[in-house]
């Protein structure tokens, strides 16, 4: 083997030995691609909302998914004709499970500043069906 052919082979072997490995012997990159995609929506995709029990907010988005949000200080949602949901941090309007959002309530009986909510999860079809009709968006 010539000296020039040996250098790339040694370099490749060295790089392969330095690659991070996940449990089970697969690389970290393949482990990351096996994770489920984040459940997200954009503010412009919200088509309906309802107030739940104990500061819970339910948002229905295009595609039929219903997101549950745990709010802090979001009072009088039942009297709201509309609401605006924006990310608490960042410049995008994409919000995912685990993110914090600011909620502005329009036409509520008492005008208030925005409140905060954490996007908890996406409800399953069974959970949506089990919601009382007054809480189902």
- Between 88 and 90, name the one with better pLDDT: 88
How do residues 8-37 score in pLDDT, each as one tens digit?
Answer: 444 444 444 444 444 444 444 444 445 667
pLDDT at 72: 85
H/E stretch holding 127 reads: helix 125-130
pTM of the model: 0.70
Which of 80, 69, 68, 71 has the alpha carbon at shortest distance from 111? 80
Give the angle 89-32-121 at the CA atoms, nearest 5°: 50
H/E stretch holding 20 reads: none
């Amino acid at each position: 083997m010539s000296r020039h052919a040996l250098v790339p082979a040694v370099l490749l072997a060295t790089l392969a030995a330095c690659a991070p490995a996940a449990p089970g012997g697969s690389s970290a990159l393949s482990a990351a691609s096996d994770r489920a995609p984040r459940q997200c929506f954009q503010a412009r995709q919200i088509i309906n909302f309802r107030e739940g029990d104990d500061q819970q907010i339910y948002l229905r988005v295009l595609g039929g998914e219903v997101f549950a949000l745990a709010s802090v200080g979001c009072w009088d949602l039942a009297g709201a004709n509309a609401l605006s949901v924006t990310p608490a941090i960042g410049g995008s309007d994409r919000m995912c499970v685990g993110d914090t959002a600011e909620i502005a309530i329009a036409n509520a009986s008492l005008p208030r500043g925005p409140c905060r909510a954490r996007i908890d999860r996406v409800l399953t079809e069974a959970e949506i069906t089990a919601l009382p009709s007054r809480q189902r968006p």
